[in-house]
């Protein structure tokens, strides 16, 4: 007998038939034969695994047992083609298992001929494509999500060549898909930042992920965009990294708002400093006026006049000292320089000294920062002024404040920690998670609600961390603010800011 399988006619020896039988028995696919009436004549182990029926349950039964009622017409069409000698290749349809479960299947059906070439039946190879269909559905679903995402979602190979480009990327960068596929990702990176791509590719080669990296990119029309990007390695079936997926989000609006809020808080801080300075200057100026009045009296002796003028000179020197501090605050042009942090603390305290005394606040300071640290002095004065002012506001009826500046060591970097403690009423537990949010305040109309938020932004610019712990327990209430600043923040390091923390 000659049998037409896989589209070719072959004549088998006994050994060949045994070999074919072994292949059929071990096949993962269902291999079934039937006559031209659709009655099953053979049923392999693969058919048992896929459909659930044993061979003795199906041999002699109609193939229609496996076909849903609404698809029975397919068998009529299949038999008609077989009788005409046609082969059916990779026909995808639905069949039914023994347990009633419907599942997708791909079938290839070939006519079986006798020795005289007459078609007497058919061989059928059926493959369960449930997993393939599920994978396709997931892929289509993912493709729809990617295509409809507001964010730019881009994939590239390990040479930085773009391999996919969604509509979000088109909206963000202005390039059409056909303009970017096959082009280097460097097209989107400003020339002065192109070194970033080399660092990113090195991380990807090592299998690392880059998360929420904020940088600048270039649109088609030449506009610079502030973006936050997350880049993940793409691996093949063997686990080898073959490319990367990149999600880019436009944060230009957020950055602009942050800048405006920082500027607003700087103005507010300047106003607070100006009011405090005016108060500090007013006292010595009043003394100078009184001393001049006394010196002009005709009854004053030469020695008394000299004493009055000497005291007036001291008071004017005090005014000059405050003015020099003020100029140091205003002239900060974001140029970092090496300072002892305790000097900045003392500068702020000198402005608030009278206020501390009038509020009956006892101040204790401990300075142990022997090593200088590179910071932007004006920004750190603003941070310290805000934190110290908050501590004073928390103790309207008096209390104690301690300020400590000391070296510290985090997990990977040495630095300096400033700790400000007060014995005020404390911050309720439910508010601790909100203290660094913009516009949140516990002071009512007395606060702007962006002081600590701006302080956190400025500390992050120094790659540092600010944290708050507080208690409202009677007799043990108070708040502690800790500011950590690492050494070497402005010496070419790429450490990422840790941000703010709240502890109870």
Mean pLDDT of all residues in 272-294? 72
* Measured distance CA(37)–CA(69) in Å, rounded: 17
- Of residues 479 and 431, which shows the higher confidence score? 479
Q: In what order do the strands lie in the sheet with 152-157?
A: 162-165, 152-157, 241-250, 224-235, 210-218
Could you tell me the residue ranges of all domains in the chain? Answer: 2-129, 149-250, 252-329, 332-504
pLDDT tier for residue 495 given thresholds of 50, 70 and 90: very low
Q: Kindly report which listed range (68-82, 394-408, 446-460) carries the lowest average pLDDT score.
A: 446-460
Q: How do residues 343-373 score in pLDDT, each as one tens digit?
A: 999 988 887 887 888 889 999 999 998 899 9
Only one residue has tokens 């193939």, namely 63
Q: Kindly report which listed range (194-208, 218-232, 325-339, 430-444) carries the lowest average pLDDT score.
A: 325-339
- Of residues 136 and 403, which shows the higher confidence score? 403
Tokens of 271: 């106003």
Q: What is the average pLDDT score of the chain?
A: 83
* Measured distance CA(305)–CA(292) in Å, rounded: 9
Residues 6 or more apart in contact with residue 145 via CB below 8 angstroms: none
β-strands 224-235, 210-218 pairing: antiparallel
Only one residue has tokens 């090195």, namely 202
* Measured distance CA(454)–CA(441) in Å, rounded: 13
* Measured distance CA(231)–CA(76) in Å, rounded: 54
CATH fold label, 252-329: Helix Hairpins (1.10.287)
Q: How do residues 5-36 score in pLDDT, each as one tens digit?
A: 433 444 456 666 666 677 777 788 999 999 98
Predicted pLDDT at 409: 83
Same fold for the pair 149-250 and 252-329 = no
* Measured distance CA(452)–CA(482) in Å, rounded: 12
Predicted pLDDT at 4: 41
Q: How do residues 52-102 score in pLDDT, each as one tens digit?
A: 999 999 999 999 999 999 999 999 999 888 888 889 999 999 999 999 999
**pLDDT of 290 above 90:** no
* Measured distance CA(457)–CA(437) in Å, rounded: 11
Give the number of other Cβ atoms within 10 Å of residue 486's Cβ: 22
* Measured distance CA(41)–CA(480) in Å, rounded: 85
CATH fold label, 332-504: Heat Shock Protein 90 (3.30.565)
Predicted pLDDT at 283: 65
Only one residue has tokens 């793409």, namely 234
pLDDT tier for residue 49 given thresholds of 50, 70 and 90: very high
* Measured distance CA(153)–CA(168) in Å, rounded: 7
**pLDDT of 280 above 80:** no
pLDDT tier for residue 474 given thresholds of 50, 70 and 90: confident
Tokens of 477: 């209430």
Are the C-beta atoms of 376 and 463 separated by less than 8 Å? no
Only one residue has tokens 């949010």, namely 437
Residue from 495, 496, 462, 501 nearest 482 by CA: 501
* Measured distance CA(435)–CA(438) in Å, rounded: 8
The DSSP output letter for 182 is T
pLDDT tier for residue 340 given thresholds of 50, 70 and 90: very high
pLDDT tier for residue 140 given thresholds of 50, 70 and 90: confident
**pLDDT of 268 above 80:** no
Q: Does domain 149-250 have CATH number 3.40.1280.10?
A: no
Share of the chain above pLDDT 70, in %: 84
Residues 6 or more apart in contact with residue 497 via CB below 8 angstroms: 459, 460, 461, 463, 464, 465
Q: How do residues 115-128 score in pLDDT, each as one tens digit?
A: 888 998 999 999 99
Predicted pLDDT at 504: 44
Containing 362, the helix (H) or strand (E) segment is: strand 361-367
**pLDDT of 475 above 50:** yes
Q: Return the CATH architecture of domain 2-129.
A: 2-Layer Sandwich (3.30)
Q: How do residues 293-327 score in pLDDT, each as one tens digit?
A: 877 876 778 888 888 888 888 778 767 766 665 55
């Amino acid at each position: 007998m000659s049998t037409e399988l896989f589209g070719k006619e072959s004549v088998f020896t006994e050994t060949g038939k045994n070999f074919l039988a072994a292949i059929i028995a071990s096949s993962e696919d269902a291999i079934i034969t039937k006559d031209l009436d659709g009655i099953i004549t053979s049923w392999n182990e693969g058919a048992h695994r896929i459909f659930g029926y044993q061979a003795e349950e199906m041999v002699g039964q109609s193939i229609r047992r496996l076909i849903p009622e609404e698809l029975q017409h397919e068998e009529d069409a299949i038999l008609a083609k077989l009788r005409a000698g046609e082969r059916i290749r990779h026909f995808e349809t639905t069949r039914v298992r023994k347990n009633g479960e419907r599942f997708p299947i791909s079938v290839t059906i070939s006519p079986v001929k006798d020795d005289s070439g007459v078609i007497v039946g058919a061989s059928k190879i059926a493959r369960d494509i449930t997993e393939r269909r599920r994978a396709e559905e997931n892929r289509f679903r993912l493709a729809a999500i990617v295509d409809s995402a507001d964010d730019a979602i881009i994939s590239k190979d390990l040479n930085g060549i773009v391999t996919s480009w969604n509509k979000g990327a088109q909206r963000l960068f202005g390039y059409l898909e056909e303009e970017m596929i096959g082009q280097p990702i460097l097209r989107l990176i400003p020339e002065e930042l192109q070194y970033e791509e080399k660092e990113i590719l090195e991380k990807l080669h090592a299998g690392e992920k880059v998360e929420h990296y904020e940088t600048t990119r270039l649109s088609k029309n030449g506009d610079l965009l502030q973006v936050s990007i997350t880049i993940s390695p793409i691996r093949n079936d063997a686990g080898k990294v073959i490319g990367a997926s990149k999600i880019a989000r436009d944060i230009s609006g957020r950055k602009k708002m942050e800048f405006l809020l920082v500027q607003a808080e700087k103005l507010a801080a300047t106003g607070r400093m100006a009011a405090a300075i005016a108060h500090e200057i007013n006292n010595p100026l009043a003394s100078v006026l009184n001393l001049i009045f006394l010196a002009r009296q005709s009854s004053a002796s030469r020695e008394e006049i000299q004493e009055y003028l000497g005291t007036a000179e001291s008071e004017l020197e005090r005014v000059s000292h405050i003015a020099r501090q003020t100029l140091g605050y205003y002239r900060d042009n974001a140029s970092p320089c090496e300072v002892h942090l305790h000097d900045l603390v003392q500068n702020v305290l000198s402005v608030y000294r009278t206020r501390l005394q009038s509020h009956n606040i006892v101040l204790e300071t401990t300075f142990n920062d022997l090593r200088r640290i590179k910071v932007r002095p004006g920004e750190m004065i603003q941070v310290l002024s805000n934190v110290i002012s908050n501590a004073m506001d928390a103790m309207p009826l008096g209390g104690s404040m301690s300020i400590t500046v000391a070296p510290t060591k985090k997990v990977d970097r040495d630095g300096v920690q400033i700790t400000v403690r007060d014995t005020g009423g404390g911050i309720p537990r439910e508010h601790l998670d909100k203290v660094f949010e913009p516009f949140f305040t516990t002071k009512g109309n007395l606060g702007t609600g962006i002081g600590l938020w701006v302080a956190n932004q400025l500390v992050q610019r120094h790659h540092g961390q600010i944290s708050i712990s507080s208690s409202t327990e009677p007799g043990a209430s108070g708040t502690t603010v800790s500011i950590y600043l690492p050494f070497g923040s402005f010496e070419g390091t790429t450490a990422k800011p840790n941000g703010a923390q709240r502890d109870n």
